[in-house]
A and B are shown apart, each in its own frame.
Chain A
Amino acid sequence: MTKTTRRKPSSTLLALSTAAMALPALTPQAHAVAPTERTLSYRYTQYNEMGIDAEKVSSINVDQGGGSSQRYDIDINQYAFSTPIGDHFSLSIDVQDEVLTGATPWTVAKEDVKGTPSDVSDDEIKLVMSGATIKEHRTEANLGTTYYYSSGTISGNLGVSKEDDYESASGGLSWGGEFDDKQTGLAVGISYSDDTLNPEEGSYRGTELESKIGGWLNGSDPVIGTAKKQSTSGFVSASRILSPNWIMQGGVSYTQKSGHLSDPYKANDKRPDERNSYTFNAGSRYWIKPIKAAVHADYRYYVDDWGIDSHTISLALYQNWQKLQIIPSLRYYSQTSASFYSISAWDTNLYNYYADDHRLSNFGAITTGLKLVFKQKPVDWIISGEYYVSGADMSLDKADEPEHPGLLKYAKFTFGVEHRF
């Protein structure tokens, strides 16, 4: 069967369809149209965090197999299938399988662990690393369905994720609608997840580090047996076609997390058991006719009650050249640190909450990417690469504390193939 469309419409097609919809016989008919194609896709992603300079790794635990300067490598295999069911429904199934190997930072310490922040110089700050023996296997499966009715869609999804020390079940419900002859789109949704932690492998407990921490006041936030955490979130978004060449979109979301939010693999980590966050995002899709390319520009602001706020600016150019789509992209990210974060958590751990996780520190990051999509009907081939580098000096806010030695650099490579039939 020859399909009447192949993929998302080009600006020419959008311009013609928009003008055509003003014609009496071509105004949209009474129901939203369910997809008519099945898609089967596979994607392989290799994610590699760069190792840490050896002089930044503490000698603590080296005798016990710790002190690895290597960090995480993740191999991800994703399989997805979607199909229409009758005229009004579609069903999608995706399965993701990933294997994670490497080492993780347990804490930051001065070489002798003790000492107050004022004693600490950049050179003395070291990461206490686990051994490179961590191997995690995670499997995730999601099932989704969408109902297409007059001028809108209702979607629901259920997911489960399982690894040796972690289980998660999640679900979501969303609604989308189009108005003004499809010029305006609105969407709202809610989602919920329930996670169970059962940390075992890779813990610092029973190591030299724990014996040193024994002398500290609090240490970490231990998980005894299992611990739970939940996440609830909701969003509202809108999009508007301003001209055949220009679409704007924006949205707001709120997420509440509660339960055991401390990282069970960190040695100096005790976080509040609730986190409320908001995001505000705005985006623009603009088609530049002379160069036959679309510019995607997005901004996102995030703020939470742990004291973190962040700005993300993304730019991408979707350049079409015959059957090839070339997409270079650039993303800048900057966040402030959490109020209870300190690089010298060994000293601040007498407070209620403390953490020395680099993800809660003040930093900025730049991601550069390149994606190529080759559309050879009925198959799309996708290759993409991404390089991420982060640092305290790239942040918009300058912190008083030295840079966290665990801030990441990573490279990500993806190969994918998608078949429509």
Chain B
Amino acid sequence: MESLYSVAFQAMGSPCQIRLYAPSRNSAQSVSQLLINEARRFESKFSRYLSDSLVSRINQSQGAEHLLDNETAAIINYAAQLFEQSNGLFDITSGLLRRAWDFSSAQVPSAQTIEKLLPFIGWQRVSWQNPKICLPDKMQIDLGGVVKEYAADALARFAQERGISSGLIELGGDIRVFGEHSWPIGISDPRQPSKALYQLRLQAGGFATSGNYQRYFIHNGQRYSHILNPKTGWPMITPAGVSVVAENCLIAGSVSTLALLMGETHCLQWLYEVGLPFLCVFNDGRIVNEFCE
């Protein structure tokens, strides 16, 4: 008889949890520890904040070519596909814009500051011949938009390979569940995060939410979200939040992020075309719920 065991931890700058059905507390604990180690491995490899991470080393390469391992190459290749599918709005080289947009100081940068950064932004400028990457000098990549979601999937696979039949992995709101159990997942109101908007039950799949509410500031009555257009360097008018359910967490995360990037006017049509179940909250409070259980 299997019982449910849970453990909470911190990784990738977010609160995380692992919930596993296991025959004993001992086996749950030993697998959980391996999973936490694996989450930390992702962080140390892909974090742009850790100076000795692979991503930091690529960013410091000053125009030199890097030969990537299979996992990193597949992640970069996936990000390239997101760039294409979003017509260039999802761009792993756009992180440089954070130098201009400091969301803690609530200052709107000058147009000149942004203009100076734009020549160093744009995935099309990167030489990418799988598995070789060559980043022009001063350009940077940031895989934050895909790694956390992918890590949730990887941890789920890792747990299954170690004999866990059913469980839930959550890394900072990105969720992957596997096995026969279904799990209740609450979606909070983007405008009042403490208020639950909807609860769905998820079995064997991924769930992710993207929103403009997580980081923003208000300057002279104008709301500036952290969703920046890599082509202009300025914030975009996006829906307040998009939650998506998919086969895995990576796809759910990508579709919710891309929906946000499509902007308030185009996101609904785009989501319907993609065809995955979603819930979209607009800035005026309007909700389109296509989870429909």
**Which residues, 38 to 97 on A, are CB-close (under 8 Å) to B?**
none
Instruction: Verify if B78 is at the interface (C-beta below 8 Å from A).
Output: yes
Distance A282 CA – B229 CA, assembled complex (angstroms): 43
Interface-facing stretch out of A3-11, A190-198, A219-227: A3-11
B154 and A25 contacting across the interface, CB-CB below 8 Å: yes
B291 and A23 contacting across the interface, CB-CB below 8 Å: no
> Please, which residues of chain B bring their CB within 8 A of the CB of A13?
251, 255, 274-276
Distance A22 CA – B153 CA, assembled complex (angstroms): 13
B273 and A320 contacting across the interface, CB-CB below 8 Å: yes
Closest to A25 in B: B154
B111 to chain A, nearest CB (A): 31
Query: 0/1 per residue, B186-215, Cβ < 8 Å to A?
Result: 000000000000001111111000000000
Instruction: Verify if B292 is at the interface (C-beta below 8 Å from A).
Output: yes
Given contacts A13-B275, A19-B78, A25-B154, contact A1 B182 (CB under 8 A): yes
B254 and A16 contacting across the interface, CB-CB below 8 Å: yes
Instruction: Verify if A2 is at the interface (C-beta below 8 Å from B).
Output: yes
Instruction: Verify if B272 is at the interface (C-beta below 8 Å from A).
Output: yes
Distance A13 CA – B97 CA, assembled complex (angstroms): 28
> Please, which residues of chain B bring their CB within 8 A of the CB of A19?
74, 77-78, 80-81
Query: 0/1 per residue, B235-277, Cβ < 8 Å to A?
Result: 0000000000111101100110010000000001110111111
A20 to chain B, nearest CB (A): 5
Which of A6, A16, A23, A377 is packed against the most chain B CB atoms within 10 Å?
A: A23
Distance A25 CA – B147 CA, assembled complex (angstroms): 12
B82 and A323 contacting across the interface, CB-CB below 8 Å: no
> Please, which residues of chain A bring their CB within 8 A of the CB of B290?
377
Instruction: Verify if B217 is at the interface (C-beta below 8 Å from A).
Output: no
Q: How large is the interface on B (under 10, 10 to 19, 20 to 34, 35 or more residues)?
A: 35 or more
Distance A320 CA – B269 CA, assembled complex (angstroms): 9
> Please, which residues of chain B bring their CB within 8 A of the CB of A2?
200-202, 205, 245, 277, 291, 293
B71 and A24 contacting across the interface, CB-CB below 8 Å: yes
B286 to chain A, nearest CB (A): 16
Interface of A is mostly: loop
Instruction: Verify if B75 is at the interface (C-beta below 8 Å from A).
Output: yes
A86 to chain B, nearest CB (A): 11
Given contacts A2-B202, A4-B247, A20-B78, contact A9 B275 (CB under 8 A): yes
Instruction: Verify if B128 is at the interface (C-beta below 8 Å from A).
Output: no
Instruction: Verify if A116 is at the interface (C-beta below 8 Å from B).
Output: no
Distance A17 CA – B82 CA, assembled complex (angstroms): 11
Instruction: Verify if B234 is at the interface (C-beta below 8 Å from A).
Output: no
Instruction: Verify if A398 is at the interface (C-beta below 8 Å from B).
Output: no
B272 and A322 contacting across the interface, CB-CB below 8 Å: yes
Distance A130 CA – B292 CA, assembled complex (angstroms): 54
Distance A26 CA – B246 CA, assembled complex (angstroms): 13
Instruction: Verify if B84 is at the interface (C-beta below 8 Å from A).
Output: yes
Instruction: Verify if B21 is at the interface (C-beta below 8 Å from A).
Output: no
Instruction: Verify if B57 is at the interface (C-beta below 8 Å from A).
Output: no
Instruction: Verify if B150 is at the interface (C-beta below 8 Å from A).
Output: yes
Given contacts A1-B203, A23-B74, A26-B153, contact A15 B292 (CB under 8 A): no
A10 and B275 contacting across the interface, CB-CB below 8 Å: yes
Instruction: Verify if A12 is at the interface (C-beta below 8 Å from B).
Output: yes
Instruction: Verify if B70 is at the interface (C-beta below 8 Å from A).
Output: yes
Given contacts A5-B276, A25-B157, contact A16 B71 (CB under 8 A): no
Instruction: Verify if B103 is at the interface (C-beta below 8 Å from A).
Output: no
Given contacts A16-B251, A24-B71, contact A1 B273 (CB under 8 A): no
Contact of B78 among A3, A6, A23, A292 (CB under 8 A): A23
A207 to chain B, nearest CB (A): 58
Which of A2, A17, A378 is packed against the most chain B CB atoms within 10 Å?
A: A2
Distance A19 CA – B80 CA, assembled complex (angstroms): 9
B85 and A15 contacting across the interface, CB-CB below 8 Å: yes
> Please, which residues of chain B bring their CB within 8 A of the CB of A6?
275-277
Distance A153 CA – B275 CA, assembled complex (angstroms): 25
Instruction: Verify if B158 is at the interface (C-beta below 8 Å from A).
Output: yes
Distance A36 CA – B182 CA, assembled complex (angstroms): 13
Distance A23 CA – B290 CA, assembled complex (angstroms): 29
8 A-B residue pairs with CB within 8 Å: A2-B201, A2-B202, A3-B277, A4-B246, A5-B246, A23-B71, A25-B154, A26-B250
- Residue numbers of A with Cβ under 8 A of B are 1-10, 12-13, 15-20, 22-26, 29, 36, 244, 292, 320-323, 377-378
10 closest Cβ contacts across the A-B interface? A4-B205, A25-B154, A19-B81, A22-B74, A25-B157, A19-B78, A23-B74, A2-B200, A377-B292, A4-B247
